[in-house]
Structure 1
Amino acid sequence: MSEYDEVARRFEEFSSKTLFHERPWLEYLEATGKGKPEVLALRDEAGDTPAYHIWLTRRIGPVKVMGSPLPGWTTNFMGPLMGADTDLDSVLVSLKRYMWRNGYLYAELKNQALDENKMLAHGFQPVRDVTAVLQIAPTEEETWSKLKSTARNRVRKAQKSLVAEATTDMDMIDEYYELIVERYREQGMSFPFSVERLKTLARCLLPHGRLLLVKVIHEGELAAAGLFPHDERTIYYFGGASKRSLTKLCPNELMHWTAISHAVEQGIGSYDLCGTSQFKRKFGATNEEVITWCYSPVPGLLLARTALIRLHWARLRLLHRLKSWMGGKK
């Protein structure tokens, strides 16, 4: 990734740069079997380099795929690194030409800087989703005022009996894993990741200051835990879980507020809660549309994508039923 290192030195030039373009995140994806990171300089007609595209290459059956990113990677964004004045038309023409010459039959791009009309004009198909995003104010007081009264009241309640702390202790990953596996079990599903995948995330991000671990304690007992990757612009809710028997003490609200307070201290401007719900919006977040752009010269591959995602969730439920049945046979 020598060319990548050259690009990394220019990150601040690109308005579309995210945590997920950075080396620690790419190393996490590669270490967990998502593919090989690649970098492509996309030049305009004058031979200048208006953009760089970052992705991981993998094969799904006979199909060579350009993932930037792909579903299941717990990766919110990627796509081209572009400046505010980059000609997106030139970028897309160069990208499709590269795919054709190098045997890629399918690609996904996900970046908020991609113009919808131009993407559609170049044959990319949208898959629309929504996430809740809090615009964090410069001070904790201003940010606190953005929370709905229900969230503020529940944080105050939590602070009476719970203690929240940020930690770099890898042992917290095991504790978090126990909580999240139990919550998935309660929903009739098996958690899709191994504990080793979560430890790999921590090993890749913690040394670079790109991961906040939050734990909430009640009388020496873990009440809630969460993982919050971030860069200097945005903090993300990777995942969190709490002990059901302690839910009435509001550990989840305190966990999120602790992450938000950390973001204020670090000058981070937004909090992406990675999906939306009434619970998430009460932290002052508003819904924003997120579009995954899919492209293939082969008809039908987008339909195959939808079928594979449905199969993934059906598989989690089946695995849970099988584990429950096997447990009952012992």
Structure 2
Amino acid sequence: MFRLHRVEPSAELWADRATYPDRLIFHTPQWLRFVAETQRAEPVLATVHDGGTPVGHFTGLVTKRYGLRILGSPMAGWTTSYGGFNLRPAVPRRAALEALMPFAFGDLGCAHLEIRDRHLTEADLGGLGLRWQSAPTAVIDLTPGEDALFGAMASACRRNIRKAERSGVVIEEVTGDPAFAGQFFDQLRDVFAKQNLVPTYPVERVRSLIRHLGPAGRLLLLRARDPGGRCIATAVLPWYHRTMYFWGGASYRPDQHLRPNEALIWYALRWARQRGVTEFDFVGGNSYKQKYGTTEVPVPWARRSRSPLVAGLRDAAKEAFSLRQKAVARLTRQV
């Protein structure tokens, strides 16, 4: 019988977690501190036991909404792609997920649970009282050579990368520059303005991410400059173990004819591959990403509430957030 036992963080615990082949950056102490700070959430670490034998770990955070305790692994809006479990090979994820229910609603006293585990499948979810939606992501296998990676892109994408180079666009790595977060966020505002929206998070979240992940060497920050030296595009790319993630990218609309976005991605792919990273995860399945030669990977986002009322509050909060974002955008345009 599988059970989860809450544990306190320690050097020994983090060392053991680092031995699991399915570990992700979202399971690391640096990432947990980032989410805890920006979401005012409490990290929850647990070991997974099969009888008396430890077979894995669980990572989540508890926050409060409407006075109710909620366990997110992760929650929507946390700018965190995945959470869930680290399990030894051959340990069934469904059994660990089933054990998560009494842990979340009993031991932790939560009213709502959400989980997006990179290795869970829809077949794992049936019969557990979970609701889920498909949340696929687009990934690139970085194990082929650079020529093969470039050749797998759409011809228009390859032309745009060459155009950026001919136009004099220069990509630079950024470290220790306090101006970067502001540059990225200003460009992000321009991206959202195209759809009459505003960013879903403040610039302080970008600064927090850099502050927590930068010193650990797990964050690639890129800046694209035009021939005159002006910053026209940026990208934020956390990486760890086998995977690099496209956390955010932005550019100014008047400069997109120079194709800095494609140049940033091509630089990141080669940079990651040279460091032994084998997968680039775009964190989402938008159609524009297909031009880079991506493969779509299904990842369900599952949730369960203690009562229908709590489930209704969650859906209402999501809708209210969307309406609030549109309202702020309208007010911003009027100023």
Q: Distance in 1 between matches of 2:10 and 2:41?
A: 16
Q: Deviations over 1:152-181 (max 9, x none)?
A: 111011011211111112322111111111
Match of 2:330 among 317, 321, 324: 321
Q: Report the aligned-residue RMSD.
A: 1.8
Counting only pairs closer than 5 Å after superposition, residues 135-284 of structure 1 correspond to structure 2 as 135-161=141-167, 162-168=169-175, 169-218=177-226, 219-284=228-293
Report what 2:74 is aligned to. Answer: 69
Q: Distance in 1 between matches of 2:263 and 2:12?
A: 40
Report what 2:320 is aligned to. Answer: 311
Stretches of structure 1 that go unaligned for 5 or more consecutive residues are none
How many angstroms does 1:259 deviate by?
1.0
Q: Does 1:48 align with 2:56?
A: no
Q: Distance in 2 between matches of 1:94 and 1:152?
A: 48
Report what 1:83 is aligned to. Answer: 88
Q: Secondary structure at the match of 1:177?
A: helix
Conserved? CA contact 1:42–1:95, under 8 Å: no
Q: Distance in 2 between matches of 1:50 and 1:255?
A: 40
Amino acid at match of 2:195: Q
Amino acid at match of 1:131: T
* Greater mean alpha carbon deviation, residues 75-84 or residues 308-317: 308-317
Give every structure 1 segment of 4 or more consecutive aligned residues whose post-TM-superposition deviation is greater than 4 Å: none
Q: Secondary structure at the match of 1:132?
A: strand
Q: Distance in 2 between matches of 1:129 and 1:18?
A: 18
CA separation of 1:89 and 1:187: change in aligned 2, threshold 3 A: closer
Identity %: 26
How many angstroms does 1:267 deviate by?
1.2
Q: Deviations over 1:79-138 (max 9, x none)?
A: 122112224354234322222233111111111222433322222221212221111125
Q: Deviations over 1:237-292 (max 9, x none)?
A: 11111121111111111011111111111111111112223321111112222211
* Greater mean alpha carbon deviation, residues 2-11 or residues 233-242: 2-11
How many angstroms does 1:39 deviate by?
0.8
How many angstroms does 1:207 deviate by?
0.7
Q: Distance in 1 between matches of 2:23 and 2:215?
A: 20
Q: Distance in 1 between matches of 2:108 and 2:208?
A: 31
* Greater mean alpha carbon deviation, residues 117-126 or residues 1-10: 1-10
Q: Does 1:118 align with 2:127?
A: no
Stretches of structure 2 that go unaligned for 5 or more consecutive residues are 1-6
Q: Secondary structure at the match of 1:197?
A: helix
Conserved? CA contact 2:8–2:45, under 8 Å: no
CA separation of 1:294 and 1:4: change in aligned 2, threshold 3 A: farther
TM-score norm. by structure 2 comes to 0.91
Q: How many residues align?
A: 325
Q: Secondary structure at the match of 2:53?
A: coil
Q: Distance in 1 between matches of 2:138 and 2:98?
A: 32
How many angstroms does 1:2 deviate by?
4.4
How many angstroms does 1:301 deviate by?
3.4
Amino acid at match of 2:318: I
Conserved? CA contact 1:50–1:86, under 8 Å: yes
Amino acid at match of 2:49: R
Amino acid at match of 1:297: R
TM-score norm. by structure 1 comes to 0.92
Conserved? CA contact 1:43–1:94, under 8 Å: no
How many angstroms does 1:63 deviate by?
1.7
Q: Distance in 1 between matches of 2:94 and 2:192?
A: 43
How many angstroms does 1:78 deviate by?
0.5
Q: Secondary structure at the match of 1:214?
A: strand
Amino acid at match of 2:286: S
Conserved? CA contact 2:120–2:300, under 8 Å: no
How many angstroms does 1:36 deviate by?
0.8
Q: Secondary structure at the match of 2:39?
A: coil
Match of 1:298 among 307, 314, 319: 307
Conserved? CA contact 1:4–1:39, under 8 Å: no
Q: Distance in 1 between matches of 2:91 and 2:23?
A: 13
